Amino acid sequence: MIPELGHFALILAAMLAVAQSVLPLVGAQRGDSRLMGSAAPLAIAGFLAVAVAFASLIWSYATNDTTVANVVANSHSAKPMIYKISGTWGNHEGSMVLWVLVLAACAAAVAGFGRGLPSALQARAIAVLGTISLGFLAFILLTSNPFERVWPPPRDGNGLNPLLQDFGLAVHPPLLYAGYVGFAVTFAFAVAALIEGRVDAAWGRWVRPWALAAWSFLTLGIAIGSWWAYYELGWGGYWFWDPVENASLLPWLAGTALVHSAIVVEKREALKIWTVLLALLAFALSLLGTFLVRSGILNSVHSFASDPSRGVFILVLLAIYIAGAFLLFAWRAPAMAPTGIFAPVSREGSLVLNNLLLCSICAVVLVGTLYPLFLDLLTGQMISVGPPFFNSAVAPLALPLIAGMAIGPMMPWKRASLWPVLQRLWWAACLALLAFVLSLAVAGWHVLPAFGFACAFWLIGGAAADIADRAGLGRTRLANVLHRARGLPRSAWGAAVAHAGVGVTLLGISGMGLATDHLAALPPGGSTQFAGYEWRLDGVRDATGPNFTARRATVTLLRDGRPVRVMEPSRRFFPQGRTTTTEAAIHTNLLRDLYAVLGEEHEGQAVLRLHNNPLAPWIWLGAFVMALGGALSLSDRRVRIAAPAAKRREAEVTA
Amino acid sequence: MTRKKRRLYILLLCAIGLGSATALTLTAFQDNLVFFRSPSDIAREAPPPGRAFRLGGLVEAGSVERGGATIRFRVTDGASTIPVTFTGVLPDLFREGQGVVAQGVMRPDGSFAAREVLARHDETYMPPEVADALKRSGHWNPAQGAPPPAASWNTLTPERRSGS
């Protein structure tokens, strides 16, 4: 009964999506306010319908309803409740429903929060979101129905891939999808603006909060995914330049460029066409990411629950949306007159440079990710493009980007000169130089990590210098400075915090550049020296969990013969699906991670792989700081009172 | 500054950006592309020494030998077999008779020194390169179901297989 309710709700959502993609558009074209007014209720009703479908699916998983094919394929009664629920989106069908749910929620949010928007723009944007929704609902209903029944019902399900039985699955996909799909909103605004043929500062002001929110979610989603891979896969790495990872990085890069170029539209009404293009591009790359991940067309370490036959459907959807949007762009963009003149050396100029570099990086990553696919299609030759390619191609482009990140925010609009800005940054440069020298002195002759540390301090110092400069440090009394710092717009704080967050992440990445590892085969009681500790294997014993059995090693870390800490890496065996997973033991003191992995046992000896990862947690900490910066910017007064209608209402109240 | 001049600047900047991105991509490609080779490819044509590549196939049943942290096994695609050594912790899904992809270099003695053995999240997953190598050597037709056990790979010949 409940699964049928869910299936019905999905069909209802698809019907509503048809209405949502047609009626408001017609209304906006004819200037019919009644038809345009239908957009918001339709979007909200569509959201409710998808929510009911998603809730029914969760219900089927939570009660382990084995008459539902999807539950049978991906769940098991012995799983803890949290994994039953998070397992709902740990498979192809469920994750697509989540995708559509987030999309519908975005449309509902545009309907709910967008009351201050011009009604035609809002109606068109909601209609575009409806069209996207429709495509993906059709995809789910036609090729990946999660509510399909099986008869007779098997006794129990096949279980979920053990690697996915983790807290990471509960939070990583929803956050990542919120980011991916959030760019659907900026895409919808861009298409609406193209249909209208008008982009102005107000448009930039409406688009920027959505871009910022999507960007913040995507940042968090990527960071949590990276952290999850770090502790779950047991390789001691955090980023593998894997196609699936790149698929999430591409929209992030385009989104980062969009967040910055939208500032220029908002403040100076320049770069309008470019910003529209970026908005289209960010969502195009999100769709591409969805396609790459869901189709499994690229060879990835993270691929699970992929199905090439269904990938074609997404490819067709991708082609329709992207080609449609770009055709519209080619048709309408020339009609938009460029405005807002600025000198090359200015805030606008530095943001153009930022966009240029981010897009270059994006292009390099895209080529590196798709090249094996094209080569295979064209010549049948199989290759892989690994981390060395990405590192050596991206780093030279990232360097000027980082250098400019500290300089750009301190430049005035329209016309600037470099020298006064550099004068205000001299101490950040000194800090960077100091970090470089210190790193070489402490950690030995590792130039690249030392360079990374220098860049990180340059960024953090630059962010601090920016705030200090705006608050007037050194030009007025300290009390005055504090007062002014408090009075600075939140968006200024947000920018500084986000830039400093990049610095923090860079500290972590540089620290990981100094990581070391050690491999040892030890008998019980044996020990090995690594990272300043003596690691003693006390023994390996059996353990049991709710749905697995495990071999668990007890490793004692000794310093000067005294035990300091006990670590327990283990290997888990899951009877359902007959798979083994390694559970790394990680001990962190925030300055470094000690990371131990238990390998196979043979003739009384157990293989241990030990890692010493300096500053590893800072990678993800930095991402949280970046997202915090995004949130700060979002809370800016300017964003909240952005709508002219709201302003008018305020004016009426005061009058 | 005139509009024309500004446009020129921006175009110039774009050209520099795109140009450097292309140049970087091409140079990085030259040094860092990793080719995929099956055991038959290696038997036919020895890969250039010292250049890393990916070896893919099935782990031959009964070929895994462990000594301390070093593991020896053989990778086969049915037609040819390559001995592999690896020092480290094997991925969770490494098993005899299963598909495997290893990255490393050839040793002068004709064995493959794996620096990395790649894992997959999914136990039913066959790396596409491996599937392709098996299909090319005539040992597996995916339409006929799952690949037969690796122990039988060396005893089968492509002719007999296709004839059956």
- pLDDT at residue A27, as a whole number: 93
Element (H, E) at A497: helix A490-513
- Return the SS3 of B55: strand
- CA A433, CA A608: separation in Å to the nearest integer? 38
CB contacts of A292 in chain B (<8 Å) are: none
SS3 annotation, A191-243: HHHHHHCCCCHHHHHHHHHHHHHHHHHHHHHHHHHHHHHHHHCCCCCCCCCCH
- pLDDT at residue A585, as a whole number: 93
- pLDDT above 70: percentage of residues in chain A: 95
Name the DSSP class of B98. Answer: S
- pLDDT at residue A161, as a whole number: 78
- Return the SS3 of B159: helix
Q: Which residue has the higher pLDDT, A119 or A624?
A: A624
Return the closest-CA partner of residue B31 out of A255, A385, A482. A385
Name the DSSP class of B91. Answer: P
- For the ranges A335-339, A345-349, A580-584, A596-600, which has the lowest average pLDDT? A335-339
Interval A156-210: pLDDT, tens: 888 887 878 888 888 999 999 999 999 999 999 999 999 988 888 889 888 999 9
- Average pLDDT score over chain A: 89
Q: Which two tokens stand for residue A552?
A: 């668990």
- CA A87, CA A166: separation in Å to the nearest integer? 9
Q: How confident is the model at residue A214 (pLDDT cuts 50, 70, 90)?
A: very high
Angle at A413 between CA A410 and CA A418, to 5 degrees: 50
Return the closest-CA partner of residue A233 out of A302, A300, A167, A171. A302
* Cα B122 off chain centre by: 17
Beta strand pairing call for B112-118 and B81-87: parallel
- CA A28, CA A15: separation in Å to the nearest integer? 20
- pLDDT at residue A450, as a whole number: 95
Residue of B nearest to A600 (CA): B89
Predicted TM-score (pTM) of the model is 0.90
Q: CB A342 to CB B6 under 8 A?
A: yes
Q: Which residue has the higher pLDDT, A492 or A335?
A: A492
Q: Which residues contact A331 (CB under 8 A, 6 or more apart)?
A: none
- Return the SS3 of A532: coil
Burial (Cβ within 10 Å: 0-12, 13-18, ≥19) of residue A340: middle
- pLDDT at residue A639, as a whole number: 64
- pLDDT at residue A300, as a whole number: 61
- CA A498, CA B87: separation in Å to the nearest integer? 41
pLDDT at B159 over 50: no
pLDDT at A129 over 80: yes
CA distance A34 to chain B (A): 43
- CA A571, CA A581: separation in Å to the nearest integer? 6
Query: A500-514, B39-53, B134-148: which has the highest mean pLDDT?
Result: A500-514
Candidates A297, A361, A383: best to mutate against B (most CBs of B within 10 A) is: A383
- Return the SS3 of A430: helix
- pLDDT at residue A295, as a whole number: 73
- pLDDT at residue B68, as a whole number: 74
Q: Looking at this protein, which amino acid is placed at residue A321?
A: Y
- pLDDT at residue A306, as a whole number: 54
Question: Average pLDDT for residues A518-523, to the nearest whole number?
Answer: 90
Question: Average pLDDT for residues B43-62, to the nearest whole number?
Answer: 84
Q: Which two tokens stand for residue B43?
A: 């038997």
Query: A343-347, A443-447, B34-38, B65-69: which has the highest mean pLDDT?
Result: A443-447
Give the alpha-carbon dihedral of A249, A253, A255, A260, to 10 degrees.
160
Query: A16-20, A25-29, A36-40, A313-317: which has the highest mean pLDDT?
Result: A16-20
Residue of B nearest to A597 (CA): B89
- pLDDT at residue A302, as a whole number: 59
CA distance A523 to chain B (A): 10
Interval B84-100: pLDDT, tens: 999 888 877 777 777 78
Please state which architecture CATH assigns to domain B35-155: Beta Barrel (2.40)
Q: How confident is the model at residue B37 (pLDDT cuts 50, 70, 90)?
A: confident
pLDDT at B101 over 70: yes
Name the DSSP class of B147. Answer: P
CB contacts of A365 in chain B (<8 Å) are: none
List alpha helices for A387-477, DSSP H.
387-407, 418-424, 426-443, 447-471
pLDDT at A492 over 60: yes
Q: Which residues contact B3 (CB under 8 A, 6 or more apart)?
A: A338, A341
pLDDT at A416 over 50: yes
CB contacts of B125 in chain A (<8 Å) are: 303-304
Q: How confident is the model at residue A648 (pLDDT cuts 50, 70, 90)?
A: very low
Q: Is B23 in CB contact (< 8 Å) with chain A?
A: no
List alpha helices for A333-417, DSSP H.
347-379, 387-407
Residue A595, beta-bridge partner list: A586, A611
Of B13, B20, B122, the CB nearest to A161: B122
CB contacts of B25 in chain A (<8 Å) are: 364, 367-368, 393
C-alpha dihedral sign at A50, A52, A55, A61: negative
Q: How confident is the model at residue A621 (pLDDT cuts 50, 70, 90)?
A: very high
Q: Which residues contact A548 (CB under 8 A, 6 or more apart)?
A: A162, A572, A573, A574, A575
- CA A158, CA A46: separation in Å to the nearest integer? 33
- CA B141, CA A38: separation in Å to the nearest integer? 55
Q: Which residues contact A396 (CB under 8 A, 6 or more apart)?
A: B20, B24
CA distance A649 to chain B (A): 39
Question: Taking a contact as any Cβ pair under 8 Å apart, which residues of chain B between 24 and 53 contact chain A?
Answer: 24-25, 27-29, 31-36
Q: How many CB atoms lie within 10 A of CB A634?
A: 18
CB contacts of A302 in chain B (<8 Å) are: 121
- Average pLDDT score over chain B: 75
pLDDT at B35 over 80: yes
Q: CB A301 to CB B129 under 8 A?
A: no
Cα of first residue to Cα of last residue in chain B, in angstroms, is 78
Candidates A607, A608, A611: best to mutate against B (most CBs of B within 10 A) is: A607
CB-CB contact of A572 with A549 (8 Å): yes
Q: Is B9 in CB contact (< 8 Å) with chain A?
A: yes
- CA B42, CA A553: separation in Å to the nearest integer? 40
- CA A411, CA A418: separation in Å to the nearest integer? 8
Q: CB A353 to CB B90 under 8 A?
A: no
Interval A536-560: pLDDT, tens: 999 999 999 888 899 999 999 999 8
- pLDDT at residue A188, as a whole number: 96
- CA A86, CA A306: separation in Å to the nearest integer? 18
Question: Average pLDDT for residues A32-42, to the nearest whole number?
Answer: 92
Q: How many CB atoms lie within 10 A of CB A389?
A: 26
Treating both helix axes as pointing N-terminal to C-terminal, what angle do A308-332 and A272-295 enclose, rounded to 10 degrees? 170
Q: CB A599 to CB B54 under 8 A?
A: no
CA distance B157 to chain A (A): 24
Q: How confident is the model at residue A443 (pLDDT cuts 50, 70, 90)?
A: confident
- How big is chain B by its Cα radius of gyration, in Å? 22
Burial (Cβ within 10 Å: 0-12, 13-18, ≥19) of residue B42: buried
- Percent of residues in chain A assigned helix, strand, coil, to nearest 5: 65, 15, 20
Of B54, B66, B123, the CB nearest to A579: B123
Element (H, E) at A72: helix A69-74
Q: CB B32 to CB A386 under 8 A?
A: yes
Q: CB A383 to CB B21 under 8 A?
A: no
CB contacts of A597 in chain B (<8 Å) are: 89
- CA A128, CA A142: separation in Å to the nearest integer? 21
CA distance A2 to chain B (A): 30
Please identify which residue in the block is written with the tokens 């899951």.
A574
- CA A292, CA A242: separation in Å to the nearest integer? 11
Angle at A264 between CA A260 and CA A270, to 5 degrees: 135
CB contacts of A299 in chain B (<8 Å) are: 127-129
* Cα A291 off chain centre by: 16
Q: CB B89 to CB A609 under 8 A?
A: yes
Q: Which residue has the higher pLDDT, A576 or A651?
A: A576
CB-CB contact of A527 with A641 (8 Å): no
Longest dimension (CA), chain B: 78
Name the DSSP class of B51. Answer: -
Q: Which residues contact A426 (CB under 8 A, 6 or more apart)?
A: none
CB contacts of B86 in chain A (<8 Å) are: none
- pLDDT at residue A309, as a whole number: 66
Question: Average pLDDT for residues A576-603, to the nearest whole number?
Answer: 86
- Return the SS3 of B89: coil
- pLDDT above 90: percentage of residues in chain A: 58
Of B13, B21, B132, the CB nearest to A364: B21
Interval A54-106: pLDDT, tens: 999 999 999 999 999 999 988 888 888 999 999 999 888 899 999 999 999 99
Q: Which two tokens stand for residue B134?
A: 């098996």
Return the closest-CA partner of residue A39 out of A137, A127, A135, A102. A127
Q: Which two tokens stand for residue B164?
A: 């059956």
- CA A51, CA A44: separation in Å to the nearest integer? 10
The length of chain A is 655
Question: Average pLDDT for residues B3-18, to the nearest whole number?
Answer: 78
Question: Average pLDDT for residues A275-300, to the nearest whole number?
Answer: 85
Candidates B10, B13, B51, B92: best to mutate against A (most CBs of A within 10 A) is: B92
Treating both helix axes as pointing N-terminal to C-terminal, what angle do A272-295 and A92-113 enclose, rounded to 10 degrees? 160
pLDDT at A649 over 80: no
CB-CB contact of A83 with A165 (8 Å): yes
Candidates B13, B25, B37: best to mutate against A (most CBs of A within 10 A) is: B25
- pLDDT at residue B43, as a whole number: 86
pLDDT at A535 over 70: yes
pLDDT at A46 over 80: yes
Render A290-353 in DSSP notation, one character per residue.
HHHHHH--S--TT--S--HHHHHHHHHHHHHHHHHHHHHHHHHGGGSPP-----SSSHHHHHHH
Interval A226-280: pLDDT, tens: 999 898 877 778 998 988 899 999 999 999 999 999 999 988 888 888 999 999 9
pLDDT at B130 over 70: no
- For the ranges A136-140, A287-291, A522-526, which has the lowest average pLDDT? A287-291
CB-CB contact of A271 with A265 (8 Å): yes
pLDDT at A632 over 60: yes
Element (H, E) at A611: strand A605-614
**Domain residue limits, chain B:** 1-30, 35-155
Q: Is B3 in CB contact (< 8 Å) with chain A?
A: yes
- pLDDT at residue B144, as a whole number: 60
- Return the SS3 of A270: coil
How many Cβ contacts (< 8 angstroms) between chains A and B?
A: 134
- CA A88, CA A54: separation in Å to the nearest integer? 9
**Domain residue limits, chain A:** 1-159, 516-615
SS3 annotation, A141-197: HHHCCCCCECCCCCCCCCCCCHHHCCHHHHHHHHHHHHHHHHHHHHHHHHHHHHHHC
Please identify which residue in the block is written with the tokens 């440079």.
A353
- For the ranges A14-23, A92-101, A237-246, A424-433, which has the lowest average pLDDT? A237-246
Q: Which two tokens stand for residue B163?
A: 């004839």
